[in-house]
């Protein structure tokens, strides 16, 4: 694909991403910006959830490995699939807890004595053996996965897309980078990476 065709294709992809409900702005990331995000993620994963543990943001790693990486910002109207497992607590190779955006799922676990509901969106097995030592030795960690979004799967110019959530330091970096260009005044916005290959 020649540079002009590629540029036109990427502009069309941006237009289609912006057409998805809740999306406020989108921009392609260059190599240096991707490297900065990878560096920020590495540091952030050593101190997850205010020091509760360690993490692996495999979603961001996968997004950054694609041919094209973009950031997009969205408000509360942007839908992440309710059944996605974007955050999982792993303990000795087994799932010990997970996030769910489905309030019905959370309600069901509140009534189950084998589980503890820690927040409006996180459930943990009651018998999970968690300790600072388990996090320190690497047996226990938070795993952040990427997801595919149905609306993005319909964009004909892309394949193998993966949407991921950057850590708070990476989000801050991206927000500061694009705030003025995109006019991101909405206080409750999220930042996402989307990595994809071109067809």
> From residue 134, how far is each of 4, 24, 49, 73, 138 by CA, in Å?
52, 40, 16, 35, 6
The 10s digit of each residue's pLDDT in 88-107 is 989 888 899 998 878 888 88
Query: Which of 76-80, 126-130, 195-199 shows the highest mean pLDDT?
Result: 195-199
- Domain residue spans in the chain? 3-198
3-state secondary structure (DSSP) of residue 11: helix
**What would you report as the CA-atom Rg of the chain, rounded to the nearest whole angstrom?**
18
Q: Give per-residue pLDDT as tens, 60-86.
A: 999 999 999 999 999 988 988 877 788
pLDDT number for residue 137: 66
- Residue 132 pLDDT greater than 90, yes or no: no
**Closest listed residue to residue 23, CA positions, set 82, 69, 63, 75:** 75
Are the CB atoms for 34 and 84 separated by under 8 Å? no
Helix runs in 26-167, H state only: 31-44, 58-64, 103-110, 132-136, 150-153
Q: Is 71 in contact with 29 (CB distance < 8 Å)?
A: yes
Residue 136 scores a pLDDT above 70: no
pLDDT band at 51 (very low <50, low <70, confident <90, very high): low
Both tokens of residue 145?
């996965």
Report d(CA 109, CA 94) in Å as an integer: 18
């Amino acid at each position: 694909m020649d540079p002009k065709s590629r540029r036109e294709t990427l502009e069309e992809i941006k237009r289609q991403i912006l057409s998805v409900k809740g999306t406020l702005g989108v921009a392609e990331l260059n190599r240096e910006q991707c490297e900065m995000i990878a560096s920020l993620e590495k540091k952030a994963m050593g101190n997850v959830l205010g020091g509760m543990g360690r993490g692996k943001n495999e979603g961001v790693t996968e997004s950054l490995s694609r041919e094209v990486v973009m950031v997009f910002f969205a408000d509360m109207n942007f839908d992440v699939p309710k059944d996605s497992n974007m955050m999982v607590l792993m303990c000795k190779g087994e799932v010990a807890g997970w996030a769910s955006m489905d309030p019905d799922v959370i309600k069901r676990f509140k009534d189950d004595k084998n589980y503890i509901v820690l927040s409006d969106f996180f459930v943990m097995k009651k018998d999970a053996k968690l300790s600072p030592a388990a996090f320190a030795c690497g047996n226990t960690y938070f795993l952040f996965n990427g997801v595919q979004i149905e609306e993005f799967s319909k964009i004909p110019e892309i394949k193998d897309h993966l949407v991921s959530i950057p850590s708070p330091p990476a989000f801050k970096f991206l927000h500061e980078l694009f705030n003025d260009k995109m006019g991101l005044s909405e206080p409750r916005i999220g930042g996402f990476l989307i990595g994809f290959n071109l067809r």
